[in-house]
Amino acid sequence: MIEVAHLTKRYGGRTAVDDVSFTCAPGSVTGFLGPNGAGKSTTMRMLCGLTPPTAGTATVCGVPYRRLANPGREIGVLLDASAQHAGRTGREVLALAAAVMGVPRREVDVKLDLVGLGAAAARRRVGAYSLGMRQRLGLAHALLGDPRVLVLDEPANGLDPEGIFWMRGLLRDFADRGGTVLLSSHLLREVEAVADRLVVIGGGRVVAQGGTEELLADA
Ligand code: ADP
Ligand code: ADP
C-alpha cells in the first residue's frame, strides 16, 4: 500500500510537485503518467526517502520510507537505471545488495534468471550493458528482497517491444499475487495495457486519476 497525501516539492521558487495525492492498493498496478518534467521522478524520490518533501506525506504500508525497518525487503525501487555501478558485474551488484539486505545469496541467481539476464550477461560489467539490460538488472535488484511494493521510474526506457511485453507480464503477475506497483512512464502505451489505475500528472499537479478504462473512455 502506497499513500501520497498533499505531497509538494519546491526548488527555490519553482514548484516541481504541487499538492499531489493518490493511493496505490495491494493487488493493483498504478500507472503514473506524464510528460518529461511533470514531476514523476521527484514524487517517486520523495516516496523513497531520497528527497525531503517541502510539504505533505508519503508512506509505504503506513510508514515513511526512512522509518521502514528493512526498506529493501518491503519496497523494491528502480529509479535511474543509468546510475548503477558501471565497474561491477551484474552479479556483483546483486550480491552486494543481497548482503546489505540480508537476502540469501541464492536469490541473486533466481532474480537474474527471472529478469532474463543469463550467466554470460551476469558476468559482464554493467558499464557494457545496454539500457534495456540495465533496466532488467534494476528490476532484479528491486525484486531481490521479495518486497510487497514496487516503485519503478520509467522501467520501460530502453527495453525493446519484446522486453516491454515481458515486463508487463511480470508486473501483472506481481500484482496478481497481492503486490502493489507504481509504474511511471511518459508514454500511455507503456502503461495502459498493464495499469488498473492511472494517475496523470502535468506541471507538478495531478490532472486526472481513476480506473484506466474509465479514464480512457472519457479521453
Ligand atoms: P519527470 O520525472 O516527470 O520527468 P521530474 O520530477 O524529474 O519530472 O522534474 C520535475 C521538475 O522539477 C522539472 O521542472 C525539473 O527540472 C525540476 N527538478 C527536478 N529535480 C530538481 C532539482 N534537484 N533541482 C531543481 N529542479 C529540479
Ligand atoms: P510457476 O508458477 O511455474 O511455479 P513461478 O511462479 O516461479 O512459476 O513464475 C511464474 C511467473 O511469475 C513468471 O513469469 C515469473 O516472471 C513471475 N514471477 C515469479 N516470481 C516472481 C516474483 N518474485 N515477482 C514477480 N514475478 C515473479
pLDDT tens column, 79-103:
986 676 889 999 999 999 999 999 9
Q: What is the overall mean pLDDT for the chain?
A: 94
Q: State the maximum Cα–Cα separation within the chain, in Å, rounded to a whole number.
A: 49
Question: Cell 533496466 belongs to which residue?
Answer: 135
- Long-range own/partner contacts, residues 166-171 (CB < 8 A, 24 or more apart): 166/116, 167/135, 167/139, 168/193, 168/194, 170/114, 170/115, 170/139, 171/29
Distance CA 88, CA 101 (A): 18
* 108-118 confidence digits (pLDDT tens): 999 999 999 99
Closest approach atom of ligand 1 to CA 36:
4
Mutate to test the pocket of ligand 2, among 114, 148, 166, 168 (most ligand atoms within 8 A of CB): 114
ipTM value for the complex: 0.69
String of DSSP letters for 14-71: EEEEEEEEEEE-TTEEEEEE--TTSSHHHHHHHHTTSS--SEEEEEETTB-GGG-SSH
Least confident of 12-16, 79-83, 99-103, 129-133: 79-83
Question: Rounded to an integer, what distance in angstroms lies between the CA atom of residue 181 and that of residue 28?
Answer: 6
Q: Which residue of 94, 173, 194 sits with most ligand 2 atoms within 8 Å of its CB, as the best mutation to test the pocket?
A: 173
Average pLDDT of 182-208?
96
* Straight-line distance from the first to the last Cα atom of the chain, in angstroms, rounded to the nearest whole number: 28
Going 216 to 202 to 190 to 2, the CA torsion angle's sign is negative
Phi-psi region of 86 (alpha: psi -120 to 50; beta: other; left: phi over 0): alpha
* pTM metric for this prediction: 0.87
Return the pLDDT at 66.
86
153-181 residue pLDDT tens: 999 999 999 999 999 999 999 999 999 99
Percent with pLDDT over 90 in the chain: 84
11 Cβ inside 6 Å of ligand 1? yes
Q: Whose CA is nearest to atom 13 of ligand 1?
A: 37
Alpha-carbon gap, residue 60 to 47, rounded angstroms = 8
Ligand 2 neighbour 214 (Cβ under 6 A) = no
Q: Which atom of ligand 1 is nearest to the CA of 14?
A: 26
pLDDT in tens, 58-77: 999 889 888 888 888 899 99
Q: Which atom of ligand 1 is nearest to the CA of 154?
A: 2
- Mean pLDDT in residue range 135-140: 95
